[in-house]
Amino acid sequence: MLGGSPEQHQQFLPRFLESSGTPLAALCNSEPGGSANFAAAAPGAGTRTQARLDDGHWVITGAKQWISNATGWDEKGADLLCVVCRTDADAPPESALSVLVVERPERGIVVDRYLDTMGHRAHLSPRFRLEGVRTPAANVLGAVGSGKGLVEASFAGTAALVGVFGTALMRAAFEFALDFAKTQTRGGALPIIEHQAVGYALADAKTAIEATRTLNWRACHALDTQSPAALELALQAKIYGSETAVRVIAELMRVVGIDSYDHDLPLARLMQDALVLPIFDGGNMGVRRRQLHDLMKGAGYDPLAACGAAAS
């Protein structure tokens, strides 16, 4: 959607708008060994997956992991892969990478293993190799060498959505803990919500949930309206929402007590899913805070833009 031409939209997208079938697509960026510095030039490695032109086709060789859906339903590849590749080993980061579209390849997808993740277990997270995978030379999103900007733009919108994930997990945890506090005496005379410590913990949790929810709404609205502050708000939503979710669910587990550690209750599962939020979709330390840092270092940074005002 961001980098494709109108002709590419017509070629690649219709199958995903049908009311039947189960097509899969994947953005193949992350690699074994980490991709926080995916655009790094020498002496850094950056993206290691290579693509070279051969007889009117790109030939792709490399390894990827953490790419949901990438190996398809049958380990032969998703219906549509957008593969981040190094197309010019000697170019600077701004022009070294390209995003190549690969329709379900005939051969060349080799699964090494599926990651055994702590949470988010409803989908496969493969580590796989592309061994001479071929795609037509025209299947480049945007211009050759424009991959860095496309990848960064693609992950701007998802940053805000991670904050939404955090809000959803906190909300589920809070609703359970509130009901627990109102109905359980834990051997005492009154429901535990009557104790000040429990009541204050619930009040703090609900306040954090609503603050996160509001930040998410603002970030998503800014992205939808293409506000100049969209990236800053999306990054803040990702960082704050993900880290707040882990903290709030931990506090709610303390309200419930040791029983929250049993999978018979939902809090342990919610925590398992929450723990990945600060470290996936661009880790908060290695990627997202760095992006905010770079924004604030910029000569044209307006500290009031995110609050809807303009610096005077």
H-state helical runs in 184-288: 196-224, 230-256, 267-274
In Å, how far are 74, 125, 126, 128 from 113, measured between CA atoms?
A: 14, 9, 6, 7
pLDDT at 310: 56
Tell me: the pLDDT tens digits for 13-71?
999 999 999 999 999 999 999 888 888 877 788 899 999 999 999 999 999 999 988 99
Residue 146 has pLDDT above 70, yes or no: yes
End-to-end alpha-carbon separation of the chain, Å? 36
In Å, how far are 71, 101, 154, 159, 200 from 149, measured between CA atoms?
A: 25, 16, 9, 16, 45
Q: Which residues pair with 53 in a beta bridge?
A: 58
H-state helical runs in the chain: 6-12, 93-96, 147-183, 196-224, 230-256, 267-274, 289-297
DSSP per-residue string spanning 180-212: HHHH--TTSSS-GGGSHHHHHHHHHHHHHHHHH
Tell me: the pLDDT tens digits for 250-284?
999 999 999 999 999 999 999 999 999 999 999 99
Residue 257: what are its φ and ψ, rounded to 5°? Answer: 95, -160
Confidence of residue 309 (pLDDT cuts 50, 70, 90): low
| CA-based nearest residue to 115, from 102, 128, 104 | 128
Which two tokens mark 117? 């993740």
All structural domains of the chain with their residue ranges: 6-142, 149-302
Residue 312 has pLDDT above 50, yes or no: no
- 226 DSSP assignment: T
Angstrom distance (rounded) from CA 132 to CA 50 = 10
Quote the mean pLDDT of the chain: 93
Q: How remote is the C-alpha of 112 from its chain's centroid?
A: 22
Angstrom distance (rounded) from CA 253 to CA 173 = 9
Q: Peptide bond preceding 105: is omega within 30 degrees of 0, i.e. cis? A: no
Measured over the CA atoms of residue 296, residue 302, residue 304 and residue 305, the dihedral's sign is: negative
pLDDT at 308: 78
Residue 295: what are its φ and ψ, rounded to 5°? Answer: -60, -45
Report domain 6-142's class: mainly beta
pTM: 0.90
Q: Which residues pair with 97 in a beta bridge?
A: 86
The residues annotated as belonging to the active site are 281
Looking at CATH, the fold of the domain delimited by 149-302 is given as: Butyryl-CoA Dehydrogenase, subunit A; domain 3 (1.20.140)
